[in-house]
């Protein structure tokens, strides 16, 4: 059954797989790595344009390593999961300094680089260097669970070990790049999470899940992300037509992106901003006035929902507690990388600085 699976998969890849992507067939480990990092938690349709912009802006890993942080984060803006961007920069600079800009070719060396897990390392060494390492992501786990009728949860230690062992056993040792590309594409286009194309599936005659009508039930997962809701109140402190921003540095969402003065509330109860204890603490005895309060904006992340409102505050000098904030002149906010929530607000207020 195992040999039939691999043979049929490669046959499908050669004769029926017409999935097109700009990095498909790529042999440059830098471009393969870049595409894999971009595609983590990102749909191919969205990642495609980001990949092309990155390659155009930073043709080599040396170009990326030398780039200012702000330029890279601005280019990444909108992709989310900004820790990926932080790790991307760190790894590019390690390769530039420790490997003379040449991407390492050994699996373990690649695994030791920041932000590269087993799946990404296997993709790089197989696609760039033809080394026999099987990729195992959600697509692969789903295919194997259905084909073999596996009920071991994919998100457990035992499950991860089982699916990796099975993927290793199925891998075509002589054609690892072709095989890995084939199984990834098969999961994305045929054995899909929702509405799989079982009637078009070359593996259907041997598929256990299809035979016992359990396709929708597999794979099994034990853990569900507990989604929480958060309320952010952003104060746009304006002094002489300049608004003040700061960079998020805490170990939280949107690290290294810019934001305005932030108050996070435990609930969504709209405060009386003119009498806000938070603003009184920030401004101390200094006078300020509330110019406007926006409607509520929302951004859905994978594990939490962020609700935000934006309050424009006028004052005549920078409060002592905001000494580390950076002033931005009228019309120049677009030069900075902000979270999606803030960008939604800015897009809806194109004349924000015309007070």
Q: Residues of the chain with pLDDT > 90: what percent?
A: 66
pLDDT at 302: 73
pLDDT at 177: 95
pLDDT at 225: 56
Instruction: Choose among 108, 104, 136: nearest CA to 33.
Output: 104
Pairing of strands 304-314, 228-239: parallel
pTM score: 0.75
Is pLDDT above 80 for 269? no
Is 36 one of the annotated active-site residues of the chain? yes
State the Cα–Cα distance between residues 166 and 1, nearest whole angstrom: 12
State the Cα–Cα distance between residues 56 and 67, nearest whole angstrom: 13
pLDDT at 21: 87
Phi, psi for 2 (deg, rounded to 5): -65, -45
Reduce the DSSP state of residue 304 to 3 states and report it. strand
For the stretch 44-73, what's the b/e string if a residue is b when 16 or more beta carbons lie within 10 angstroms of its beta carbon?
eeebbebbeebbeebeebbbbbebeeeebb
pLDDT at 355: 44
What are the residue ranges of helices labelled H in 171-269?
176-189, 208-211
Domains and CATH numbers, the chain: 2-211 (1.10.340.30), 228-348 (3.90.79.10)
Mean pLDDT of 255-270: 85
Is pLDDT above 90 for 349? no
Q: How far is CA 111 from CA 60, 86, 114, 266, in A?
A: 20, 17, 8, 39
Is pLDDT above 60 for 2? no
Reduce the DSSP state of residue 176 to 3 states and report it. helix
In degrees, rounded to 5, the angle at the alpha carbon of residue 134 between the alpha carbons of residues 128 and 139 is 105
Mean pLDDT of 81-101: 92
User: Average pLDDT of the chain?
Assistant: 90
Q: Which tens digit of pLDDT belongs to each residue from 106-138? A: 999 999 999 999 999 999 999 999 999 999 999
Mean pLDDT of 306-320: 92
pLDDT at 239: 92
Mean pLDDT of 335-349: 89
68-72, 116-120, 314-318, 329-333: segment of lowest average pLDDT: 329-333
The pLDDT confidence band at residue 166, using thresholds 50, 70 and 90, is very high
- Of 26, 36, 108, 264, the active-site residue reads 36
For the stretch 291-329, what's the b/e string if a residue is b when 16 or more beta carbons lie within 10 angstroms of its beta carbon?
eeeeeebebebeeeebbbbbbbbbbeeebeebeebeebe
Is pLDDT above 80 for 5? yes
Mean pLDDT of 311-318: 92
State the Cα–Cα distance between residues 12 and 103, nearest whole angstrom: 32
Mean pLDDT of 4-19: 93
State the Cα–Cα distance between residues 129 and 127, nearest whole angstrom: 6
pLDDT at 3: 61
Q: How many residues in total does the chain contain?
A: 355
The pLDDT confidence band at residue 224, using thresholds 50, 70 and 90, is low
The pLDDT confidence band at residue 256, using thresholds 50, 70 and 90, is confident
Q: Which tens digit of pLDDT belongs to each residue from 34-90? A: 999 999 878 888 889 999 999 999 999 999 999 999 999 999 988 877 889 999 999
pLDDT at 303: 79
């Amino acid at each position: 059954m195992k040999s039939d699976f691999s043979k049929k998969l490669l046959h499908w890849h050669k004769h029926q797989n017409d999935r097109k992507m700009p990095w498909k067939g790529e042999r440059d480990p830098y471009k393969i790595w870049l595409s894999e990092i971009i595609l983590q938690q990102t749909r191919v349709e969205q990642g495609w344009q980001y990949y092309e912009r990155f390659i155009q802006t930073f043709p080599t890993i040396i170009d990326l390593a030398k780039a200012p942080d702000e330029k890279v984060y601005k280019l990444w803006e909108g992709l989310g999961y900004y820790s990926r961007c932080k790790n991307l920069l760190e790894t590019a600079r390690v390769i530039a300094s420790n490997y003379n800009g040449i991407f390492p070719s050994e699996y373990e060396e690649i695994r030791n680089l920041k932000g590269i897990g087993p799946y990404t390392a296997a993709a790089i060494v197989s696609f760039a260097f033809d080394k026999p390492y099987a990729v195992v992501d959600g697509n692969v786990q789903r295919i194997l669970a259905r084909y073999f009728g596996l009920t071991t949860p994919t998100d457990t230690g035992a499950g991860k070990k089982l699916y990796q062992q099975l993927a290793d056993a199925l891998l075509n040792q002589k054609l690892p790049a072709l095989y890995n590309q084939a199984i990834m594409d098969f999961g994305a286009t045929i054995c899909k999470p929702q509405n799989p194309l079982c009637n078009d599936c070359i593996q259907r005659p041997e598929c256990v899940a299809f035979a016992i009508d359990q396709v929708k039930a597999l794979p099994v997962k034990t853990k569900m992300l507990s989604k929480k809701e958060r309320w952010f109140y952003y104060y746009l402190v304006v002094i002489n037509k300049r608004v003040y921003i700061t960079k998020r540095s805490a170990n939280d969402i949107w690290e290294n992106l810019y934001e305005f003065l932030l108050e996070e509330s435990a609930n969504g109860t709209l405060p009386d901003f003119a009498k806000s204890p938070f603003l009184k603490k920030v401004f101390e005895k200094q006078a300020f006035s509330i110019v406007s309060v926006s409607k509520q904006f929302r951004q859905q992340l994978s594990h939490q929902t962020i609700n935000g409102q934006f309050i424009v505050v006028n004052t005549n000098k920078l409060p002592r507690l905001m000494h580390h904030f950076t002033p931005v002149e009228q019309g120049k906010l677009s030069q900075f990388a902000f979270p999606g929530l803030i960008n939604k607000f800015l897009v809806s207020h194109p004349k924000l600085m015309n007070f």
